[in-house]
Amino acid sequence: MDACRVNLSYLLDPAHWEIGAAYSIPTLILAHLGYTVLALLIGTVVALPVGLYIGHTGRGSFLAINAGNAGRSLPTLGLLMLLVTLLGLGLLPVLIALTVLVVPPILTSTYAGMRSLDRRVVDAARGMGMRSWQVLTRVELPMALPVLMGGFRSAALQVVATATVAAAVGLSGLGRLLIDGLAVNDYSRVLAGAIVVAVLAVLVDLSLALVQRWIVSPGLKGTD
């Protein structure tokens, strides 16, 4: 192994940045983001309604807490291997494994956001004649957004970092640089993969921070 050969050459080579070319860094980023967004989307569709329901009604809170803990302790790579043996290769096992990763933080933060609300405000909303779903969408959800977005951002960070496992089962994504780099002892390629994943994670978090600023009411910022 020649450690001196680890440098930025792979990352800086313009040939690896050709838009549209198979296996170029932009193509891999796009695939990586694709897995990330899909997993977050599915995870949100699963976890958000459940978290809102539990928070709104107060029923089944053990589920929110235990699912959160259980989900966190599952190793994604191990789960993915298990799913591949059960379902075969393909996108589905990857998406399931990544969704299992994002559900706990979204579920737990939605529940926590809903539980941390000032109950007097919710009482006022009911007392003024809002129906249950109006209380949820017009009062509880907007007020829970700061905490909810915190959970969503941490889910996004985890899934950006972990989506590299897709390459382990033959799919694309930035994991290709790591796995193929290791396979052919091209450590500059591994380094390039690591750097791009890290920068991507930071950029995703920054853009979500912007989204948060945009969707969270200014009235909720002064008190946090």
Partner 1 sequence: MITFEDVVKVYPGGSTAVDHLSLELPTGKLTALVGPSGCGKTTSLRMINRMVTPTSGRILIDGEDVAGRDEAALRRGIGYVIQHAGLFPHRTVLDNVATVPVLLGKTRREARAAAQELLERVGLSADFAKRYPAQLSGGQQQRVGVARALAADPPIMLMDEPFSAVDPVVREQLHREFLRLQEDLGKTIALVTHDIDEAIKLGDRVAVFRQGGRLAQVGTPRELLAAPSDDFVAEFVGRDRGLRGLSFDSAAGLPVRPVDGLLLDDAGRPLGWPGDDGPRDTGGTFTKDDSLRVVADLAIRSPVGIAVRVGPDGAADGLVSHHDLADYLAGRRS
Q: How far apart are CA 144 and CA 133, in angstroms?
A: 15
Please pick, from the candidates 70, 90, 118, 207, the single residue that binds partner 1 as defined by CB under 8 A. Answer: 118
Q: Is 218 in the site for partner 1 (CB under 8 A)?
A: yes
Residues 6+ apart with CB under 8 A from 88: none
Rounded Cα gap, residues 31 and 16, in angstroms: 15
Q: Residue written as tokens 């891999």?
A: 28
Least distance from C-beta 109 to partner 1, angstroms?
A: 17
Q: Which range of residues in 127-135, 170-178, 184-192, 203-211 is near partner 1 by CB under 8 A?
A: 127-135
Does 212 interact with partner 1 (rule: CB under 8 A)?
Answer: no
Assess contact for 75 and 42: CB atoms under 8 A: no
Distance of closest approach, residue 147 Cβ to partner 1, in angstroms = 13
Asked whether position 125 contacts partner 1 by CB under 8 A, the answer is yes
Q: Which of 73, 85, 214, 219 binds partner 1 (CB under 8 A)?
A: 219
Q: Which of 161, 155, 157, 76 is nearest to 108 (CA)?
A: 155
CB atoms within 10 A of CB 197: 23
The number of residues that bind partner 1 (CB under 8 A) is 23
**Does the footprint of partner 1 cover residue 142 (CB under 8 A)?**
yes
Letters for 75-114 (x = contact with partner 1 by CB under 8 A, - = none) are ----------------------------------------
Report d(CA 205, CA 32) in Å as an integer.
15
Q: Is 133 in the site for partner 1 (CB under 8 A)?
A: no
Please identify which residue in 21, 121, 199, 211 interacts with partner 1, judged by CB under 8 A: 121
The pair of three-digit structure tokens given for residue 223, joined into one six-digit string: 């008190």
Q: Rounded to whole angstroms, how far apart are CA atoms 183 and 189?
A: 11
Question: If we measure between CA atoms, which residue out of 144, 148, 170, 157 comes closest to residue 40?
Answer: 157
| Per CB under 8 A, 26 contacts partner 1 | no
Residues that bind partner 1 (CB under 8 A): 118, 120-121, 123-131, 134, 139, 142-143, 216-220, 222-223
